[in-house]
Structures are given as structure tokens and as C-alpha cells.
Structure 1
Amino acid sequence: MEEKCGVVGISLEEGDAALPTYYAMYALQHRGQEGAGIVTHDGFQQHSEKGLGLVAEVFDDDDVEHLPGRASIGHLRYPTAGEIDERSCHPYTVTSKRGSLALAHNGTLVNTDEVRAEFEERGHTFSTNSDTEVMVHELASNLVEDGLLDAIKRTMKRIRGAYSLTLMHDDRVVGVRDPLGVRPLCIGKLDDGYILASESVAIDVLDGELVRDVRPGEVVVLDEDGGGFESHRLFDEVPAHCFFEYVYFSRPDSTIDDRLVYDARREMGRLLYENHGVETDIVSPVPDSGRAFASGYAEAGDLEYSEALMKNRYVGRTFIMPTQDARETAVRLKLNTMDSNIEGKSVTLIDDSIVRGTTSRQLVKLLRESGASEVHFRVGSPPIVAPCYLGIDMASRDELMASDKDVDEIRDEIGADSLEYLNVDDISEALDMPRGEMCTGCVTGSYPVDVEGETCERTKDGSRAGAD
């Protein structure tokens, strides 16, 4: 699985918003590493800068200085729909007689083709195949006939899927969270204004105060002078929060729905031991995402927590891997064993998830080659059996190890002495969140929205089956 996207929106009482937007995006870099963009409005016109790469690669001092205005939105992109080129970098911008519009999107729509086809029949043209560009067309079209709030509501009725948005209509900054609240979005108070962001760490870096999460189906309009915000709850449905935000995607120091992500992961680790504990000499995480799980697991079992693997933080995303030997070398480039902590010892290795299983197999092999007497594998989430259609770049069903193998078969495939996962009820308990308020499509194959060829868990009246 890969990161999704990150969004930011800032409105200040005075001064330029581009620099704090830049800092906030830096804090959200983990959510998207393929592209970045900032759009500001100075009260008269838009200013835009975007490109491919990390935040530090896209922007320099001059770029930020040439983005004036108290209102700003920013976006970090990991493409789950659309090409990887500069044209598809967000925020998307359009100008019409009803003013300028800029939009940044975290999530994925499931009815993009349908909406795009309707616009093309009316003569509209598109420069990318991004679902966000379709959303911009829909919103701009609705603005011709309606005020901003009504145009947003009509757009939300027309599109389906996952979307947390920051948008800017002239110099007014707005946050929108889809009726199911799949992707996160929160509000923060700054010394001289307000911020909307995918995660609270973007507020922390600006020394701001987290106000609260944007509610599912809510539109938040920041005051144009940065003095406050208006709230409009346009839809009130049973939510379907993505539980993988807690398991993997969000930074551990982020707070979502009043729950520190790090604490949630430690609780998942505690439940892993409570339900599937095994006595071994050491408990070790797969760095970095397995650390909080392993900490909770080791504490619950009064077991020794010890690092068996060390991550190389200076390795990029890709390697030249023409042969199997080269692919195994690539794993060693990313993770090296600490042999003195492993030799002659039984090890419980803890990770957040198993997707294709390739890395898990290689890590078990590395531990055995380093002298581990036993390797037991524990996973802080349920088996991933189906793809995500709502904003996570995940392997296809054919590539998912758990799609056609049971736990014993996966254990044999990765070469572990034992293998256990948390189940959906465990996740619900750890998050103190009703099972019916979580999106579990990737681990159950049943989704909270209609996806062609897949099972939808909604009943005929639009409620979610099993929702508490």
C-alpha cells in the first residue's frame, strides 16, 4: 500500500499564507511524495506553483515569496487515479465569471467515468484523467447557477466516493468532508488565523491548536479575515471511517477523532498479545510502522522489546532490480539485521499489515539467516483480501496474498513458525469505534459505496448494514 494525498487550507488575518502552507505540507509529506502544489489568492487574483517531487524539491524561497495572499490551499499528491505528470498535480484551478476556483482532493471517486462522460457530451474537455479535474468541472458548473454552499451541496450529491477537500473560491477557503468521512480532515486555530489539514501534525508544526475534526458531510468555511469559521452539516449519514488511517497511513503523532494514533496502535498491539500472544525471547517491530504495535504487545506480555531490524532512511522508492538476487539485495538496502540481538533467540516480528507478502517472506528469511531459532509473525490488522477504491493505492486482488490463501497457507508462504492477525472486531475495540462506522472494504470485500463488480454493504434505504 502507498500513501494517499494530503491537503491544507489556511486563512490569515494578515500576512501571506504561502509559507505556513509550505510548512504544513512538510509535516504531511508522508501522505504524498509524487507532487506538490500551492495556490494563493491576494484579493484580486490567484497565484499558483506546483510540480513533481517532494515539497523541498518543488518549492524554493523565490517560489514561496511569489505566492502572495492571506488565503492559501496546498496539496501533496500520491496518485490513486490519473497520470503522474505536472498537469495532474493539484490544486486544480479554473476561472469563470463567478470567480476563481482552486481545489485540492484527498481520496478517490467511484463514478468519475459517468460524470466525465456527461460533461464531454456537453462539450467540456479535460486535460487529464484525474477524478479531481472532474470534480472541479462539476463544482464550477454548479457555481454558475448557485451560491458557493448550494453549489458544494449539489456537487456532493452528484459525486460518489471518498473526498476530503480544501478549496478556495476567490479568497474564501473552504473544507469539505464526504458524507461517510472516509478520509480525515481537521480544523486548527493559529495565532493569526485558521487552518484546515488532513492531519493534526500540520497544525502542530505551526504551533497551532487543534479545534476538532471536520465532521462527515460537513462544510467548513473559514472567514476571509482569518477571524473564525462557519460550519454547515449538509449530510448526516452513518460514517465509514478508514481504519487504515490508524493502522498505517497517519503519522503516529496525529490525533484523529480525539484519539492519538500512536496510542491506538499500542492498543492494537496489546490486543494482539491478549488474543494471539506467544512467549518468545524478544519482540521486534518491522520499522517504522510496526513500532507502536510491538511496544504495546511487548508491554502486555511483559516481554523484551528489542530491535532486530534497522531501517536505512536514505533509500528512495525505487531500485534497479533486474534479477531475483537484486530484489533481495534491495530489501537489505532498506533493512539490515542486528545479528547480536537475534542469534540463538526466538523472535516475534510485528508489522502493521501484509499485502503481497514478498517483504514479509524476505524478512523472515533474513532473521533465520541471522540465527533466529524461531520466527513468529504478528500483524496489527486483518488480512487484506480486496483492493481499495476509496483513496489507497493498493495491489490488485490477484496480487493480494490473502485474497486466495488462508492464514495457515500465508504462514507457510512467508516461512514463519506461526502467524496471527487482528480481526475487525479487535480493530473496533482498539479504536473504540463501532464496526458499522468503519470502512472495512479491503478486509471484508464489502464496501460502503456502490463499486461496479463489488459488494455494497448499504441497504436499500441507504443506511449501512450492521451499523450500530
Structure 2
Amino acid sequence: MADGRDYSHDGPTEKCGVVGVSLADRNAARPLYYSLYALQHRGQESAGIVTHDGFQQHSHVDMGLVGDVFDEDDLDQLNGPAGIGHVRYPTAGGVNNCCAQPFSVSFKSGALGLAHNGNLVNADELRDELESLGHAFTSSGDTEVIAHDLARNLLEEDLVRAVKRTMERIHGSYSLTIMHDDMVLGVRDPQGNRPLCIGKVDDGYVVASESAAIDTLDGELVRDVRPGELVLLEKGGTGFDSYQLVEPDNTAHCFFEHVYFARPDSIIDDNLVYEVRRNLGRKLWEESGIDTDVVMPVPDSGRAFASGYAEAANEDEEADGVEFAEGLMKNRYVGRTFIMPTQDERERAVRLKLNPIKSTVEGKTVTIIDDSIVRGTTSNQLVDLLRDAGAEEVHMRIGAPAIVAPCYMGIDMASREELIAAGQSTEDVRDVIGADSLSYLSIDAIADVLGQSRADLCLGCVTGEYPYDIDGEPTDRDVERPTVGERTLADD
């Protein structure tokens, strides 16, 4: 059955993007709108903005791309200098309006809006408990679970303590932008799995999933939100307050943000994504470089890797030198509206999206660089395309380790049964995709380039061991957590 997704690429699917804005004396709607455009790559199913004018909350949320969801009238009706926004790709909950975000609700303690990037691992347990207490849910997503728990805590505590209580009860990955009446907050989970940063604009402050959103507003990146930190943007855009609510022993930064998801021009955890990818490409040459006539990227995500790989190859005195070339041209008009209801159509879709430049590859040995291999369908088709165009040899190099397990942290990656590398050796995968050789980047290379230890990265999809307790899966660390429903907030 057709589901409207783009199966012409084999890689993981984007998660979500969040943003929050607090300004001095102008409406936040347009800055939020521009920010969501900058974060559109993180989710294309729905988009939404919630603002507050000091008296009441205003909301517009719908299915579709940012440019389709909002028009001038919509933005004009979103009054107020404070607001939050969201773009979504569903990883928990359905593909429909009820799961679109930001989620908003009014209750005794005021109006609450919440936007979430990530995935909880105990959402069902919390939902059952809250339903037993009389909470009625309108969606199947975990964002509403967070909103209900926070609303419940706000009936008993001030804003900061209420957020802390909720953080102690929700487990998994999350970056949140929250609006309580006209107060805007940013929250990052205690292990920092999802990115979130703070920016300053002329008349206020911004929190966003990526710094590219701040750049779009002509703002200045201040810093990343720290794991376990709550950032509270002051009303009137005069500054922000910081509360370190949880002190983590280790982080669990998602390395795939740097490999695939984030925009190359974003800075995440003090690293420019473009330079990370180039350096990963250099490591790829050091670990598994092979002399060929041409090195080419799979557009667009393989480009920075291939650039670094080719640069390192040409600096290597023992190598013969290599030509870096764009050997595959991308049809940018084949996107999410191209529905492929059968597996055969999905396998052939790459021929609509990518076309080889015959003069670049004909009669030559070729190394093709991609960011990842998930199902293997696209890789197989790319190898066939290049051979059909006259390539004498086709070697594939991957700027990430082999993906052997699913992601439970908010990435729509694939089930274990669909992952081509799960239970297969590199040589087995090479044989399936038809390449002359295949090599992946090592986990140690990822950690080295990011300047972090393996213990501070989430590597679940490439090791099968996760930084969170997930039913039926091993964990890579010992984590003590309160039982759901247990109140653990210290009287501080």
C-alpha cells in the first residue's frame, strides 16, 4: 500500500525540528516561519507554530511542507512576541493532523505548547498511568504524553520544578521547545541525544535544533544547550536563564546527526557538520583508500565525505592521485510526492532521481562515496547504473559504520530484518550490491573526528547496544531510573 514516502533513497529518514523564539516587541510568527524553512530537511510531514500575545495562545498546525502549511493570513493571525514551532517526520504516532505539532492545551495553570524532537522509550507506560488518573489523550504520539505530565506537574509546582519532575519521569531522547503562556523554554535530554542550541538576534533570543535556523534570522550562535539543561528565554527578549536540572555521567550524542541528518552549515556540539564530514572522508581514505581513476559522491549527502577522501588521497605520497568528479546528477523534482507502491518501483526509482555522467565514468575505475547503507536497494542500483555507463570497476566507501540494528531514539531507519548489514559480513553485503569492493568507516574514526569517547556517543544502530533501557535490547551502560509514577524531586 502506498504511504506517500520517498523510497528513492536508501538512507534513514529525518526526525523532527524544533524552534522557540522570544522577542522584544514584534510578532514571532515570521521568524518562526523562516526558522522552520531552515529546518525543513528534518521533517516534511507536518509543520506548526504556536504563539502567545500575553493574553491568549494562537496556533496553526497542519500537514505538509512549511511553504504549503502557512500563508500570509495564517502568519498575520499568529500574534505575540513569543512562540514555538515544529517540523515533523513521524517516528512515534500516526501520519495525521492529531499527531502534528506543536501540541497545545489549556488548563488551570495556563496555556501550554510543546514541540518534541526525539523518541521516548517509556511513553506507553506513562500514558497508561496518566489515563488511569483521568487524562484523556487525542493522539498516539509521545509528545502529548510529555505535555500531559508537565501540565499535571504545573498544577503543583513552579515552572522550573515542574520541568524537572517531568524530566525525571520521561526516558529516551528529546529536545523540547515549550511555551507556558508567553514564556519560552528549551530542554535537552540528560544524555544530549538530540541537538539543541541557543542563538541571539537583535531583539531577542532563539532556541533551535540547528544553528542554521539562527543563521537564517541573521542571529549569532551563543552555544549548545547542555545535556540535562533547561533554558528559559526571558520575556521581552532581554536574555535567558539556565538551570542544570540533571547532571549526566555520560552523554549519548547521536553520531548520525553529523553523518547524515544535520545541514552541513550547522554547528552541533561545537563541531561544524561540513568539516566533520570532510574529516570523516579523510579517515575513510586512511582506513580503506583504494587507487581508482575517479572519486565521486552520491548527491547530496556523500559530497563532503568524497571531498575529504579525494583530498587525503591526493596528499598521500604513496598513492597515484585521483580525480574528484560529480559523476551522478540529481533530479531535484523527484521528491516526497513520487509514490512508489511496489518494491519493484522502489528499486527502480533511483533511475528517476540519479543519472550518471557517462563521460566521467566510461572506461574508468570508480570509487563512489555515500554516507550510509541501510536496506542496500539504492547501493545496488547505483552500482548497476555506473556499470551500465561503462565503469570498469566500481568500489564503494561508506562514511559511517555498518548499520546492524534499528534506532529507537527517533530515527525512521528500518527494522532489523530490513537492514542489509544485520547478520551479514561486509563481504556478503558487497556481493549483494555488486561492487568490486566495499568498506565502512570504523566506530573509532567517528569518535576521533568528533573528539568524543565512544562512551559519550549513541552507537546503538551500529553496535546493537543502546544508551537507554529498551525492552528486548542490550544496553551499553548502567542507568538507574525512578519507577514511573514515583515522585523523586528533592526538596531543593
TM above 0.5, yes or no, is: yes
Q: Deviations over 1:172-196 (max 9, x none)?
A: 0000000000000000000000000
For residues 92 and 174 of structure 1, what CA distance do their matches in structure 2 show? 15
Q: 1:139: Cα distance to partner?
A: 0.3
Q: Which residue of 2 aligns with 1:417?
A: 436
After superposition, where does 1:14-413 map in structure 2 within 5 Å? 14-237=25-248, 238-302=250-314, 303-321=322-340, 326-413=345-432
Q: Secondary structure at the match of 2:409?
A: coil
Q: Deviations over 1:312-350 (max 9, x none)?
A: 111122545466664454211110111110100000000
Q: In 2, are the aligned partners of 1:320 and 1:326 still within 8 Å (CA)? A: no
Q: In 2, are the aligned partners of 1:71 and 1:172 still within 8 Å (CA)? A: yes
In structure 1, what residue type is equivalent to 2:144?
Answer: E
Identity %: 64
Structure 2 stretches lacking a partner, 5+ long: 1-11, 315-321, 482-492
For residues 162 and 199 of structure 1, what CA distance do their matches in structure 2 show? 16
Q: In 2, are the aligned partners of 1:33 and 1:78 still within 8 Å (CA)? A: yes
Q: Deviations over 1:406-434 (max 9, x none)?
A: 10000000000000001110100111111
Q: Secondary structure at the match of 2:50?
A: strand
For residues 265 and 438 of structure 2, what CA distance do their matches in structure 1 show? 28
Q: Secondary structure at the match of 2:127?
A: helix
Q: Which residue of 2 aligns with 1:465?
A: none
Q: Deviations over 1:367-421 (max 9, x none)?
A: 0000000000000000000000011011000000111111000000000000000
Q: In 2, are the aligned partners of 1:3 and 1:78 still within 8 Å (CA)? A: yes
Q: Deviations over 1:247-305 (max 9, x none)?
A: 00000000012211000000000000011000000000000000000000000001210
What is the TM-score when the length of structure 1 is the normalising length? 0.97
Stretch deviating more after TM superposition (321-330 or 69-78) = 321-330
Q: Secondary structure at the match of 1:403?
A: coil
Q: Secondary structure at the match of 1:195?
A: strand
Matched positions, count: 462
For residues 204 and 344 of structure 2, what CA distance do their matches in structure 1 show? 54
Q: In 1, are the aligned partners of 2:210 and 2:266 still within 8 Å (CA)? A: yes
For residues 333 and 260 of structure 1, what CA distance do their matches in structure 2 show? 32
Distance change >3 Å, CA 30–CA 326, structure 1 → 2: same
Q: Secondary structure at the match of 1:14?
A: coil
Q: In 1, are the aligned partners of 2:52 and 2:182 still within 8 Å (CA)? A: yes
Q: Secondary structure at the match of 1:384?
A: coil
Q: 1:10: Cα distance to partner?
A: 0.2
Distance change >3 Å, CA 325–CA 389, structure 1 → 2: closer
Distance change >3 Å, CA 167–CA 325, structure 1 → 2: closer
Distance change >3 Å, CA 226–CA 320, structure 1 → 2: closer
Stretch deviating more after TM superposition (443-452 or 329-338) = 329-338
Distance change >3 Å, CA 322–CA 127, structure 1 → 2: closer
Q: Secondary structure at the match of 1:225?
A: helix
Tell me which of the two structures has the higher relative contact order, counting C-alpha pairs closer than 8 angstroms and 6 or more residues apart: 2
Distance change >3 Å, CA 313–CA 229, structure 1 → 2: same
What is the TM-score when the length of structure 2 is the normalising length? 0.93
For residues 45 and 300 of structure 2, what CA distance do their matches in structure 1 show? 21
Distance change >3 Å, CA 445–CA 329, structure 1 → 2: closer
Q: 1:123: Cα distance to partner?
A: 2.0
CA RMSD between the two structures: 1.1
For residues 424 and 150 of structure 1, what CA distance do their matches in structure 2 show? 38
Q: In 1, are the aligned partners of 2:195 and 2:269 still within 8 Å (CA)? A: no
Distance change >3 Å, CA 368–CA 75, structure 1 → 2: same
Q: In 1, are the aligned partners of 2:204 and 2:239 still within 8 Å (CA)? A: yes
Q: Secondary structure at the match of 1:263?
A: helix
For residues 287 and 191 of structure 2, what CA distance do their matches in structure 1 show? 30
